[in-house]
Amino acid sequence: MASSSIPTVDLSPFFNEEGDEHGRRKAIETIARACAEYGFFQIMNHGLPTDLMNKALQLSKTFFQYPPEEKLKSSPGSGAPLPAGYSKHPDHSPDKNEYLVAMPPGSSFNVYPENPPELRSVIEEVFSHLVRIGSLLESIINDCLGLPPNFLKEYNHDRSWDFIAALHYFPATERDTNGITEHEDGNCITFVFQDEVGGLEVRKDGEWIPVVPAEGKIVVNIADVIQVLSNKKFKSATHRVLRSKGRSRYSFAFFYNLHGHKWVEPLSQFTTEIGESPKYRGFLYKEYQQLRVRNKTHPPSRPEDVIHITHYAIET
């Protein structure tokens, strides 16, 4: 039977100037186990102020409560590698979710709302904090995998494809409680903080485990790129969001990403060097992202036709 909760990791030893090797080793061991068993864990004492997290959630709630014509003023422009700006759920069912996406501060593709006035600066501040946390977690995962120092940092050195999404999930209907169907993320590492409504669940050993909201904590999940690089030593977590009846849900998701022109394939450290066969064929990252975007903009009529990382799996 799966554990009833995902692991929580205290990152304070990595911010301790005096050094806390025992605390760091404990955190690395917990993260390594979580990445192999769940693909999910929570972090605390991570450097992103709780007050800033709460402020971002409140400002996004204010924005999403505006009339549709006001929100649509921030619709995405053309030419961006990701749909930066305001969008709604692409299918034609009753309202499920809506989101406001931003790429790195200063990106020419960003389309920010003018109101509420503070929203842009708060999102950009949150973004900067999460880039630093992403870099730290990437370094820790590098150590968990036993890779050479700074290997992942040198491989994934371009931050221009990172993005953040403020999300609003509408209340459930009598016929539909689904917010986001079960899926895995296509990037490297995802960070989520959510309001008290909850609804996020991760699947382990065939069971769905609720990720209970806790103030100040950030949920971390490993995504497809890390799964492929590690030749499935670390898992890309399967997760979903269920909507609550009578209550909206607000959250932020930050996607620590990979530049579109990077080549992705299982690393030799997990294949030829240890006598293992690769579980995936290599691919250009932007091509995979284009397939995933098409899943959303032109949803297949059959669920089995949705593109996942299994599209690149090698049959054994």
Q: What is the pLDDT of residue 95?
A: 63
Residue 156 clears pLDDT 90, i.e. is over it = yes
Query: Parallel, antiparallel, or unpaired for β 189-194 and 97-102?
Result: unpaired
Residue 89 clears pLDDT 80, i.e. is over it = no
What is the pLDDT averaged over residues 157-184? Answer: 89
What is the pLDDT averaged over residues 64-91? Answer: 85
Joined together, the tokens standing for residue 273 give 């060097």
Query: Parallel, antiparallel, or unpaired for β 8-10 and 40-44?
Result: parallel
Evaluate whether residue 243 is within a structural domain: yes
What is the pLDDT averaged over residues 159-164? Answer: 95
Task: Specify the higher pLDDT residue, 224 or 176.
Answer: 224
Evaluate whether residue 1 is within a structural domain: no
Confidence of residue 1 (pLDDT cuts 50, 70, 90): very low
Q: What is the pLDDT of residue 92?
A: 40
Q: What is the pLDDT of residue 306?
A: 78
Question: Whole-angstrom Cα distance, residue 315 to residue 312?
Answer: 9
pTM of the model: 0.94
**Helices marked H in 145-192 — which ranges?**
151-155
* Total tally of structural domains belonging to the chain: 1
Evaluate whether residue 3 is within a structural domain: no
Residue 253 clears pLDDT 50, i.e. is over it = yes
Q: What range defines the domain where residue 144 resides?
A: 8-312
Q: What is the pLDDT of residue 90?
A: 60
Q: CA distances (Å), 300 to each of 91, 98, 205, 288, 293, in order?
A: 11, 20, 27, 16, 12
Q: What is the pLDDT of residue 177?
A: 78
Per-residue model confidence as pLDDT tens digits over 96-121 = 799 999 999 999 999 999 999 999 99
What is the pLDDT averaged over residues 83-100? Answer: 76
Residue 41 clears pLDDT 70, i.e. is over it = yes
What is the pLDDT averaged over residues 23-29? Answer: 94
Question: Average model confidence (pLDDT) for the chain?
Answer: 91
Evaluate whether residue 2 is within a structural domain: no
Question: Whole-angstrom Cα distance, residue 135 to residue 159?
Answer: 10
Question: Whole-angstrom Cα distance, residue 35 to residue 227?
Answer: 9
CATH of the domain at 103: 2.60.120.330
Using CB atoms within 10 A of its CB, is residue 69 exposed (0-12), middle (13-18) or buried (19+)?
A: exposed
Residue 94 clears pLDDT 60, i.e. is over it = no
Q: What is the pLDDT of residue 145?
A: 97
Q: What is the pLDDT of residue 2?
A: 46
Question: Whole-angstrom Cα distance, residue 163 to residue 54?
Answer: 19
Q: What is the pLDDT of residue 30?
A: 96
Using CB atoms within 10 A of its CB, is residue 149 exposed (0-12), middle (13-18) or buried (19+)?
A: exposed
Amino acid in position 172: A
Evaluate whether residue 203 is within a structural domain: yes
Per-residue model confidence as pLDDT tens digits over 178-223 = 778 889 999 999 999 999 999 999 999 889 999 999 999 999 999 9
Confidence of residue 79 (pLDDT cuts 50, 70, 90): confident
User: Reduced to 3 states, what is the DSSP secondary structure of residue 227?
Assistant: helix
